[in-house]
Each structure stands twice: as structure tokens, then as C-alpha cells.
């Protein structure tokens, strides 16, 4: 890592701080690793802050706001669903209007306001709900929160959603902007950046899920929320400390507009016939294919899949200006634009399959808190583990498994498959989808044992919380395959200028899982409580059948695996060519040649 970073700094030295772009514009030369302490420091502090206030939300709502367990669970799922869906809007605003740095800055301030609101709700007497004693902890006989208290709570969560929607899609790509992609050493430094980024994020997550949560539940909620708020303030300070070093990529227009251009142009020309329908190589010479410009351009060759979109590149008389540009982007698109939309169309079905894996993840992380509250949380005679901290077993399993996968399993697999990464991107996701329902079956078996022991001991199970470790370890390994595999898949299969959308799409998958989890819980509760039967999901989980619900999720995971296999069978990996920056003369020549061919 150090070698890559040192090489990058040498190439991006202060001797040549600016370079000329085509057209005579000046832009700052990428400084590579000189910017990374600020970007990685910002991301680490932001993660400690955001996770520190959100990870223990269910417990906070139940114990301090006197909200019932099922209602608190649904509020948490809706919050996380909206939080994970918001990056899609953040990506649009960043690409179309603000750029990544300004979006990051505004989002950081919004997150800070949200954290301040939660800290005040736990500190000020007027915003605190009267606490319940142990026998009325479910909230049935406790004072309900007032309108003011709920307003402050929901407003704070709203600011956290706005902040997360701005930060999540822009943080990683903003770091990528700081590397010069025309330089080999800089590209190696970028790989090192990915390792440091995910490594520090995991460390921040474990810190929040252990130390911060312990302070919140065992010492003080105001202090437990105040520490993450301080870290968020530090994130803003660190971000602005590196302002003079950053490369600020200006907004280039919304990619959603480009997608609309392709769909409209193809629809308008739907009645035209594609030339040489059986030969895509010949089609490339006859369709609109202007050169791309930039420091590193991955040019996508024409494919025959979804060929109806190819009609949007057919050139009619008057479609091209004298300089080779399209006269109306709603009537003529380039092959590059068409193929970028095809990449998106191919990826979406794969993305949908990942939702079910995260549903299993969300169900375990949500209901495991309710299980832990009825189990023995002691580690030794004196120390009691906070309920929300038990989930870190899954993250630790993921963190430990990653180097094992990278250093041992990949080289072993490479010998048999001949694939550089050991297995393909889709195979990696598929393995995660196999392990996910297995973890749910294990979770169901453990829940059955926990419920029986709790009913035999007056509602409190003597089982240690470490009985939950096997399912959490399996879920962590499933996440290492599927979730990390999704991130790698999106970053490699999306076109380069769609990377902000790629980052947001991963969080949209999480959002879909949260919303689906809420819907499944609601439907299951209503269906299983018909005809006077006790619902599988109740506020008192000892009276429900949570294990049956886990088996149901496992069955859905198996069905989802078959869906994924069908999508994988028809998926066509992106092929691309690396083009160096082209001169204006060569570009004009290429356009002229292609135009002449079409006229003939």
C-alpha cells in the first residue's frame, strides 16, 4: 500500500499543480494519496457518527420513548429503508447540480443537525419521555411520547436521511476523483485506496457497535449520542482541511437525462430498420459512433442484445451538425450512450436478486435484538454485553473472512477455474445467496430452543447470547460473498461515468430489503393471526412463532436463488476497449468517414 501511495504522490507533485484540458481550460492535477488522509479521515469519522446514533435506534425507541417493540421495529425498518433509498436522489443532485464535494459538504451538515437533534431528545427534560419500570417495559402502561417529542425525533431522523443520501453515493467516487487514471502507479494507488476505505469503514462500524452502544445502554444516552455527534463535527472539519488539495469534478448533467435520451430516440426510430442486422462490427461503421474524449475512456463496443435500442443510433438526414455532434439528443444517440443503458438494463435483474439476501440480513438484525433482551447477556460474572453489540459477531466474521477469502480461497479456486479472481463476479454473489437461507434455518432452530427455554423459566431464557453466534457468522460470510460481491460487480460492470449511480444502487438494494422486510412482517402478522390464532410476530416474542417466520424467509431465499441462476445465465458481461485521449483532428476525421459511409 505504501509503495502505491508513494508513487502516486511523486507523479502528482506540486511542481505541476495544474494541467490543461482540451479547449484551454485549467484544472487541478490529481494529488492522489496526498488527499487520502482527509477523505478517509472524513469517512471514518462520519461512519462512527452515523452508525453510532442509528445502530441502537430500536433499543432507544423501546426503552426511552416507550414505543412497542413491533412498532419500534417497523420505524427502524422504514428509517433504514428511506436512508438507503435516498442515495439515488443524492446521486442525481450531485451529477446534475452540485458536484460531489458540495453534495458531501451539505450532507455532512445535515447529518450533524440530525445527530444534534437526537442528542437533545435524550438530554433536555422537555424532550425526554418519562421512563418505565422493568415490568412495563413494553410500553403498554407507560406515558406515550408527546407531539413535540415525536416531532423532534422524526425531524432528527429526517436530517440523518438527507445527510446519508448525500454522503453515501459521493464519498467513495470523490476519493477516486483524486487519482490520475492515465498513470499506472496512480491506478495501483487507487486499489490501495479501496482497501483502506473499506478497512477503516469496518473499523468504525465495530467501534460504534461496541464502545458507543455500550455507553448508550449502560452509562448514558446523552453521552452515547454526544460522542457520535462530536465525531461528525470532526468529519466536517477534516473534510474542509483538505479543500486546497482536492480535484473538484464539476457536475456533468444527470445520467438519468441521458438514459431518457436513449429510450426516447429509440422509440422515435422504432420503425426504421437496422443496417446489417447480422453483423455488429459492420453496424458500428454505419451507426452514429463519435469519439469519446477524456483522460481514460472505456469505450463500449456495439452488442446485439436489446438490439431495439440500437435504432436510436441510426443517422437520418439532418441529424448531425457540421461539427459532428447530434443536432437533437432526443432523436440521435451514440453507440456509447446506447451501450451504457444496456449495461444498466442487464444489471437491474441481478440487483433485484440481492434484495432477498439483505432481507435475511435485516430480519436477523432486527429480531435478534428482541431475542437478546430475553437471553443471558453476561460475559463473565460482572460484565453484561449490550443487546445491539452482539450483532458485531457478524461484522467480525466478515472482517476475518475477507483476508482468508482473498489470500487462501481465491488462489485455490484460480488453479481450477483459471479465472484471475478465482470465481466470477456472479458466482461470488451466488455463493452468498446459498449461505443466506442456511443461516435463516440455523436461526430458526436456535429460536425454537430459546423460546422453549424462556417459557420454561418464566419468560427469561438462561441460554447465553452466544447461541446466536452460528447464524451471525454464517450471515457475515454470506455478506462477504454477496454484499461485497455486489459492490465489486457494480463498480466493474457500470460505465465509468455512472459510478455515482453504481454506489447508490447498492444502497437502493438495501432500501428494497428494508421496505420488503416491513411488508413481510406486516403481512405475516395479519395472516397468521386470523381466526383467533396467535400471530407469529408479537411484541412478546415468547408467545409468537419467530422460528416459523425465519423458515419462511429461508424458503423465499431458495426461490430467489433459482431466480438469480436464471438471470445469471442470460447476463452478458461488459466488454470494453481502452482509448487514449484523441485529438480533435482524429475525431473530426472519424466522424467524417462514418458520415460518408452512411451516405453511400
> pLDDT tens across 526-547, in order?
898 887 788 888 878 888 888 9
In our burial notation (b when 16+ CB lie closer than 10 A, e otherwise), range 150-159 reads: bebbeebbbb
Task: Give the strand pairing for 383-384 and 378-379.
Answer: antiparallel
Residues 392/206, Cβ–Cβ less than 8 Å? yes
Q: Could you tell me where the DSSP H helices lie in 376-498?
A: 392-404, 410-417, 425-455, 469-493
Q: How many CA atoms lie within 13 A of 561 on its CB side?
A: 20
Residues 119/52, Cβ–Cβ less than 8 Å? no
Of residues 582 and 547, more confidence is placed in: 547
| Window from 123-127, 136-140, 278-282 with minimum mean pLDDT | 136-140
Q: Nearest CA to 115 among 87, 153, 141?
A: 153
**Cell numbers at 14, concatenated:** 506540486
Average pLDDT over residues 394-402: 83
Task: Give the strand pairing for 297-299 and 26-28.
Answer: unpaired
pLDDT exceeds cutoff 90 at 556 = yes
Q: Average pLDDT over the chain, rounded to whole?
A: 79
Of residues 173 and 116, more confidence is placed in: 116
Average pLDDT over residues 267-275: 89
Grouping H, G, I as helix, E, B as strand and the rest as coil, residue 42 is helix
First-to-last alpha carbon distance for the chain, in angstroms, is 55
Residues 414/422, Cβ–Cβ less than 8 Å? yes
Predicted local distance difference test score (pLDDT) of residue 438:
94
Q: How far is CA 472 from CA 75, 360, 391, 438, in A?
A: 23, 11, 7, 11
CA dihedral 414, 419, 420, 426 (to 10 degrees): -110
pLDDT exceeds cutoff 60 at 138 = no
Of residues 586 and 463, more confidence is placed in: 463
Q: Which residues contact 123 (CB under 8 A, 6 or more apart)?
A: 222, 226
Q: What tens digit of pLDDT does each residue of 337-348 get? A: 898 899 889 998
**Cell numbers at 456, concatenated:** 420454561
Average pLDDT over residues 238-259: 81
Q: What tens digit of pLDDT does each residue of 283-322 get? A: 888 888 887 655 445 678 888 888 889 999 998 888 888 8
The Cα–Cα gap between 497 and 413 comes to 32
Of residues 130 and 385, more confidence is placed in: 385
Question: For the chain, what percentages of helix, strand and coil (3-state, to nearest 5) are there?
Answer: 70, 5, 25
Tracing cell 458540495 back to the chain, one arrives at 102
Domains and CATH numbers, the chain: 28-132+145-253 (1.20.1250.20), 255-333 (no CATH), 350-585 (1.20.1250.20)
Share of the chain above pLDDT 70, in %: 83
pLDDT exceeds cutoff 70 at 178 = yes
Report angle CA 35, 37, 41 to the nearest 5 degrees: 125
Amino acid at each position: 500500500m505504501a509503495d502505491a501511495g508513494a508513487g502516486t504522490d511523486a507523479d502528482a507533485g506540486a511542481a505541476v499543480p495544474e494541467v490543461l484540458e482540451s479547449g484551454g481550460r485549467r484544472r487541478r492535477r490529481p494529488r492522489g494519496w496526498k488527499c487520502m488522509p482527509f477523505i478517509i479521515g472524513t469517512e471514518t469519522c462520519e461512519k462512527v457518527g452515523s452508525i453510532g446514533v442509528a445502530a441502537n435506534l430500536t433499543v432507544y425507541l423501546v426503552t426511552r420513548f416507550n414505543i412497542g417493540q413491533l412498532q419500534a421495529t417497523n420505524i427502524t425498518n422504514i428509517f433504514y429503508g428511506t436512508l438507503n433509498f435516498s442515495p439515488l436522489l443524492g446521486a442525481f443532485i450531485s451529477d446534475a447540480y452540485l458536484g460531489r464535494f458540495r453534495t458531501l459538504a451539505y450532507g455532512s451538515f445535515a447529518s450533524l443537525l440530525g445527530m444534534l437533534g437526537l442528542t437533545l431528545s435524550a438530554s433536555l427534560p422537555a424532550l425526554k419521555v418519562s421512563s418505565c419500570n422493568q415490568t412495563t417495559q413494553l410500553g403498554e402502561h407507560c406515558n406515550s411520547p408527546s407531539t413535540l417529542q415525536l416531532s423532534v425525533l422524526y425531524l432528527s431522523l429526517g436530517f440523518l436521511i438527507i445527510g446519508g443520501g448525500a454522503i453515501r453515493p459521493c464519498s467513495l467516487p470523490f476519493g477516486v476523483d483524486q487519482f490520475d487514471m492515465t498513470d499506472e502507479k496512480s491506478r495501483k494507488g487507487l486499489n490501495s485506496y479501496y482497501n483502506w476505505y473499506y478497512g477503516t469503514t469496518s473499523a468504525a462500524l465495530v467501534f460504534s457497535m461496541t464502545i458507543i452502544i455500550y455507553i448508550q445502554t449502560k452509562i448514558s444516552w446523552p453521552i452515547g449520542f454526544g460522542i457520535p455527534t462530536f465525531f461528525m463535527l470532526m468529519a466536517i472539519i477534516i473534510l474542509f482541511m483538505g479543500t486546497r488539495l482536492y480535484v473538484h469534478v464539476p457536475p456533468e448533467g444527470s445520467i438519468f437525462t441521458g438514459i431518457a435520451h436513449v429510450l426516447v430516440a429509440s422509440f422515435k426510430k422504432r420503425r426504421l430498420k437496422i443496417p446489417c442486422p447480422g453483423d455488429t462490427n459492420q453496424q458500428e461503421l454505419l451507426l452514429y459512433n463519435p469519439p469519446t474524449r477524456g483522460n481514460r475512456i472505456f469505450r463500449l463496443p456495439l452488442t446485439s442484445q436489446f438490439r431495439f435500442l440500437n435504432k436510436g443510433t441510426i443517422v437520418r438526414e439532418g441529424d448531425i451538425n457540421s461539427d459532428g455532434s447530434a443536432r437533437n439528443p432526443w432523436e440521435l444517440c451514440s453507440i456509447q450512450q446506447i451501450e451504457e443503458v444496456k449495461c444498466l438494463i442487464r444489471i437491474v435483474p441481478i440487483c433485484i436478486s440481492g434484495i432477498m439476501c439483505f432481507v435475511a440480513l435485516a430480519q436477523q438484525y432486527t429480531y435478534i435484538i428482541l431475542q437478546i433482551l430475553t437471553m443471558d447477556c453476561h460475559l463473565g460474572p460482572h460484565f453484561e454485553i449490550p443487546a445491539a453489540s452482539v450483532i458485531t459477531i457478524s461484522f467480525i466474521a466478515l472482517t476475518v473472512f475477507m483476508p482468508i477469502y482473498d489470500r487462501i480461497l481465491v488462489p485455490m479456486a484460480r488453479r481450477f477455474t483459471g479465472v484471475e479472481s478465482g470465481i466470477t463476479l456472479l458466482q461470488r454473489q451466488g455463493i452468498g445467496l446459498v449461505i443466506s437461507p442456511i443461516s435463516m434455518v440455523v436461526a430458526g432452530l436456535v429460536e425454537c430452543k430459546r423460546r422453549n427455554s424462556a417459557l420454561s423459566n418464566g419468560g427469561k431464557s438462561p441460554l447465553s447470547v452466544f447461541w446466536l453466534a452460528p447464524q451471525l457468522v454464517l450471515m457475515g460470510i454470506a455478506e462477504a460473498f454477496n454484499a461485497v460481491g455486489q459492490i465489486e460487480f457494480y463498480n466493474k460492470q457500470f460505465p465509468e461515468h455512472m459510478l455515482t449511480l453504481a454506489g447508490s444502487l447498492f444502497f437502493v438494494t438495501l432500501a428494497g430489503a428494508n421496505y420488503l422486510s416491513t411488508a413481510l412482517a406486516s403481512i405475516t402478522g395479519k395472516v397468521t393471526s386470523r381466526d383467533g390464532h396467535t400471530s407469529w410476530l408479537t411484541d412478546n416474542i415468547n408467545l409468537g412463532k419467530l422460528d416459523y417466520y425465519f423458515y419462511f424467509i429461508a424458503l423465499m431465499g431458495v426461490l430467489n436463488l433459482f431466480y438469480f441462476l436464471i438471470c445469471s445465465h442470460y447476463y452478458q458481461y461488459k466488454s470494453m476497449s481502452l482509448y487514449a485521449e484523441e485529438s480533435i483532428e482524429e475525431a473530426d476525421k472519424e466522424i467524417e468517414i462514418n458520415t460518408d459511409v452512411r451516405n453511400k
